Amino acid sequence: MRSTVIAAAIAGLLAVFPVSSPAVLAADETGAAILASDARVSGDADRTRFVIDVAGEVEFGTFVLSDPNRVIVDLANVSFDLPADAGRDGAGMVSAWRYGQFAPGQARIVLDVDRPVAVEHSFYLPPVGDQPGRLVLDLVATSQEAFEAAVKANLGKRAGAEPELAKTAGPVGGDRPVVVLDPGHGGVDPGAVGKGGVFEKDVVLAFANELKADLEKTGAVEVRMTREGDTFLSLRQRVEVARGYGADLFVSIHADSAPQNYVRGATVYTLSERASDAQAAAIAARENRSDVLAGIEADEATDEVTDILVDLARRETKVFSHHFAEDVIQELGTAVKLHKNPHRSARFRVLKAHDIPSVLIELGYLSNAHDEQLLTDEEWRDRASDALSGAVTRFFGPRIAQGKSEQVTR
Ligand SMILES: [Zn+2]
């Protein structure tokens, strides 16, 4: 039923914004994508201009979202090769911006604006002389009422919907437990960005690939990923993908940042309504912003399920999630540095499957220079991935008939 809603949402979005046919291309068919090579933002508190250099005429559409205020630009079939610091600093009314793939064949730019704005003009300028083609957006300050009206009008046309989800092949089946790895963020949501310019979305994908290979080598489990490339999924969709595969374990992989740059080490998070501590709450809040950062209208209401059977399932799932978190700490602790308080809990939206044991692992802090360096170090990645693979086989120990005594621990 939900997928019908999403399909309707996408259809609505495409009807409004001229990004239609390319949006249904598969990701690997976008080889001929138009390259965006540079971008600039300039202006003041009344007028701000955003310009992006593109190697050809781009089909695009814009809409605005509130809470927080954002301008979203959807582009058909564009790929990015922008300077490393692109989007970090804004100008005028744009405080920051981000870019990346949103759905197959559909790229997106999300501008965070510090007040209500209207898109006064948006147009493509063909190349002139040695000037490349440009996409230009002129933003003007507007009243709160006018902005809210524009947001409402857009939502009526289904802007702010989740990306179209690629079809999964259905439940994996077979005797082996199914592990779904979830590299956090992706596409238009880069996640945390290290001082050295490392994107969380890239390090966690590299790590998940390594872990997948390690787990497959054991022959003990089936492994699937929520994403295999630099693509975006909403938090709800990550859970939906895990369910689609019939997951027995869901492992979301992240590498966050903290305001205090001395904070270091890996942490395992499980779901709880009340956070174990203030820092855990802050990290969950940051991770839960993924949908907002990608220009999706967050839909908290769909999270709340109060059915009594679901409550019971949730209790059992919670026990297993805790068991696995402890396995991770045991194994990972022998291989890499853990945070001084390594098992914590908070209200992570991505951990809300009531029927699948789920943990979120923060491999380290990109806000710490040492952690950032380790997270991109192959030797560190090997060690951490080996250890996590060990934690998974330990967790499923009784279900895996391999006879290795150390695996049969419960
Ligand atoms: Zn993250």
Q: What confidence tens digit (pLDDT) does each residue in 293-337 have?
A: 898 876 654 555 556 667 777 888 999 999 999 999 999 999 999
Q: What is the pLDDT of residues 72-129, one digit of tens each?
A: 999 999 999 999 888 888 999 999 999 999 988 899 999 999 999 999 999 999 999 9
- What pLDDT was estimated at residue 386? 97
In angstroms, rounded to a whole number, what is the distance separating the alpha carbons of residues 212 and 223?
A: 6
- What pLDDT was estimated at residue 1? 38
- As assigned by CATH, the class of the 4-17+168-409 domain is alpha beta
- What pLDDT was estimated at residue 326? 96
Q: Which of 367, 59, 340 is nearest to 193 (CA)?
A: 367
* Cα of 286 from ligand 1 centre, angstroms: 8
- What pLDDT was estimated at residue 9? 42
In angstroms, rounded to a whole number, what is the distance separating the alpha carbons of residues 228 and 224?
A: 9
| Residue with more model confidence, 17 or 244 | 244
* Cα of 396 from ligand 1 centre, angstroms: 26
User: What residues have CB less than 8 Å from 30, skipping those under 6 apart?
Assistant: 22, 77, 79, 104, 105
Mean pLDDT across 2-20: 39
Q: Which of 29, 8, 127, 9 is nearest to 76 (CA)?
A: 29
* Cα of 281 from ligand 1 centre, angstroms: 13
* Cα of 290 from ligand 1 centre, angstroms: 8
* Cα of 371 from ligand 1 centre, angstroms: 15
What is the value of pTM for the model shown? 0.84
* Cα of 98 from ligand 1 centre, angstroms: 15
Mean pLDDT across 262-286: 93
Question: In which band, very low, low, confident or very high, does the pLDDT at 399 lie, cut at 50, 70 and 90?
Answer: low
* Cα of 109 from ligand 1 centre, angstroms: 19
- What pLDDT was estimated at residue 408? 39
Q: Which residues surround ligand 1, an ion (CB under 5 A)?
A: 184, 191, 254, 287
* Cα of 324 from ligand 1 centre, angstroms: 20
* Cα of 200 from ligand 1 centre, angstroms: 7
- What pLDDT was estimated at residue 397? 87
Mean pLDDT across 122-145: 95
* Cα of 121 from ligand 1 centre, angstroms: 35
CATH of region 34-155, choose from 3.40.630.30, 2.60.120.560, 2.40.30.170, 2.60.40.3500: 2.60.40.3500
* Cα of 348 from ligand 1 centre, angstroms: 11
Structure tokens at 361: 């692992």
What's the DSSP call for residue 301?
G
The answer to whether the 4-17+168-409 and 34-155 domains have the same CATH topology is no
**Helices 378-395, 200-218: crossing angle, 10 deg rounding:** 50
Look at residue 70 and tell me whether its pLDDT is greater than 90: yes
- What pLDDT was estimated at residue 181? 98
Dihedral (CA of 386, 287, 197, 55) sign: positive
Look at residue 214 and tell me whether its pLDDT is greater than 70: yes
In angstroms, rounded to a whole number, what is the distance separating the alpha carbons of residues 96 and 86?
A: 9
Q: What distance lies between CA 38 and its chain's CA centroid?
A: 24
Mean pLDDT of the chain: 86
Look at residue 153 and tell me whether its pLDDT is greater than 90: no
* Cα of 288 from ligand 1 centre, angstroms: 9
Mean pLDDT across 342-359: 93
Question: In which band, very low, low, confident or very high, does the pLDDT at 259 lie, cut at 50, 70 and 90?
Answer: confident
* Cα of 39 from ligand 1 centre, angstroms: 25
- What pLDDT was estimated at residue 327? 96
Mean pLDDT across 45-50: 96
Where do the domains of the chain lie? Answer: 4-17+168-409, 34-155
Look at residue 406 and tell me whether its pLDDT is greater than 70: no
